[in-house]
Amino acid sequence: MFINYLKLQNFRSYKSLNIKLDVNTIFIGSNAQGKTNLLEAIFLMTVGKSFRGKERDMVFWDKDFFRIETKSENPRPLKVEYIYESGVGGGRKTVKINGVKRASSALLDGLKCIFFSPDEIDMFFNFPAERRRHFNIFISQINKEYARELIKYRKILDQRNALLRKISERKASIDDLELWDGKLAEHGSKIISERHKIADELNKTLVCDYKRVSKDKEQLALIYNPAISSKKSAKENEDFWAAFLEILLKSRERDLAAKVTTSGPHRDNFSFQLKGRGVETFASRGELRSIILALKLSEANLLREKTGEQPILLLDDVFSELDEDRREHLTKTFNGQQTLVTTNDLDHISVDLRKSSRIFKVEDSKVEELK
């Protein structure tokens, strides 16, 4: 399945836009002309979240709402509308699928996508929270129940943190923590278990994808470091539930002093090892770029395997960051899935890809097809 057209109203720098998309579509233009905004709109329509900012930041200047509409017709008709109204309460989001109002989580049942931008490198490798967010979005595309568990966990975490503050103010009893500890362990253990499984699945192809991208024989590994570890070898929910509960009990004094929950999947970390060492401390810029690219390729393969859907590839100015060999390899990975590419120089795009693509020039958020 791929998107046939994209309509925007008051979204980011676009007051109005209506364009048809092809299996391969290229957007060419200088920096800060609105190319990335187009990819962001597609990403938002597939996972219900943006890879940057909040909905209120996406509303066109001096307007109080935005609307995005996409339609795909193969193998089944799917019309999706995403409306955000900044002037209603704290902001109201409405999602319609084939004309029927649905929860935004229903978007996870539709199109899948993989987004890659060189701008991700610094953010991804410097901040554990960004890595958690990345894998949360990715896993949610595979397992919708995981997304539900995240929502439940965050609500319970907020309630437990509020209780910790009340206890410190002598407005609640420490015994009240028992209920919230059990609930937090119940939902947190499911998140930890799923993260373990996905990390293991990605590692099955990550080594090969890295070697193809970098021509480097060194072993690359994705390491999942949960804040809660089970002593058992089996990665089952029950093991992590018991371990999580034990940690919560042991860390009560620390939690009360900090007035927040200091352990749990909200403190987990994902990292990479190359040549047996953490990449953050020694890897070159080129190696980090290759690691991210290999990860995206592995994720695309796993999405395809687990969901039966070809994910849309959203590549934001990626080709300008790659040498000719890596560009050629990346182009060869386009196996029938829809691919949307932004670039500031068509010479960075292979001739074959250009011939098979619909090409648009983007200038000052005006989009014009090149014949």
Q: What is the pLDDT of residues 12-26, one digit of tens each?
A: 999 999 999 999 999
∠ CA 321-130-257, nearest 5°, is: 155
Question: What's residue 230's pLDDT?
Answer: 53
Encode pLDDT of 161-202 as tens digits. 999 999 999 999 999 999 999 999 999 999 999 999 999 999
Q: Count CA atoms within 13 Å of residue 228 on its CB side.
A: 34
- C-alpha dist (Å) from residue 166 to 103, 174, 319, 363: 33, 9, 53, 54
The dihedral built from the CA positions of residue 260, 265, 271 and 276, taken in this order, carries a sign that is positive
DSSP designation for 169 = T
Give me 20's structure tokens: 């048809």
CB 108 within 8 A of CB 311: no
Question: DSSP per residue over 18-86, as a string?
Answer: EEE--SEEEEE--TTSSHHHHHHHHHHHHHSS-SSS-GGGGBPTT-SEEEEEEEE-SSS-EEEEEEEET
Amino acid at 86: S
Give me 90's structure tokens: 């704290």
Which stretches in the chain have pLDDT values below 70?
A: 74-75, 229-238, 335
Amino acid at 121: I
Both ends of the chain: CA-CA distance in Å? 25
Question: What's residue 240's pLDDT?
Answer: 87
Alpha-carbon gap, residue 304 to 2, rounded angstroms? 14
Give me 250's structure tokens: 């042991």
Question: What's residue 134's pLDDT?
Answer: 94
Alpha-carbon gap, residue 336 to 11, rounded angstroms? 29
Question: What's residue 229's pLDDT?
Answer: 66
Give me 330's structure tokens: 């990346």
Question: What's residue 228's pLDDT?
Answer: 80
Q: Name residues whose C-beta falls within 8 Å of residue 46's C-beta, 6 or more positions apart in sequence.
A: 107, 110, 111, 112, 113, 141, 312
Alpha-carbon gap, residue 247 to 359, rounded angstroms? 55
Question: What's residue 221's pLDDT?
Answer: 95
Q: Name residues whose C-beta falls within 8 Å of residue 246's C-beta, 6 or more positions apart in sequence.
A: none
In the chain, where are the structural domains located? 1-112+309-371, 125-131+142-292
Alpha-carbon gap, residue 164 to 167, rounded angstroms? 5
Indicate the CATH number of 125-131+142-292 among 1.10.579.10, 2.30.110.10, 3.30.70.260, 1.20.1050.90.
1.20.1050.90
1-112+309-371 has which fold?
Rossmann fold (3.40.50)
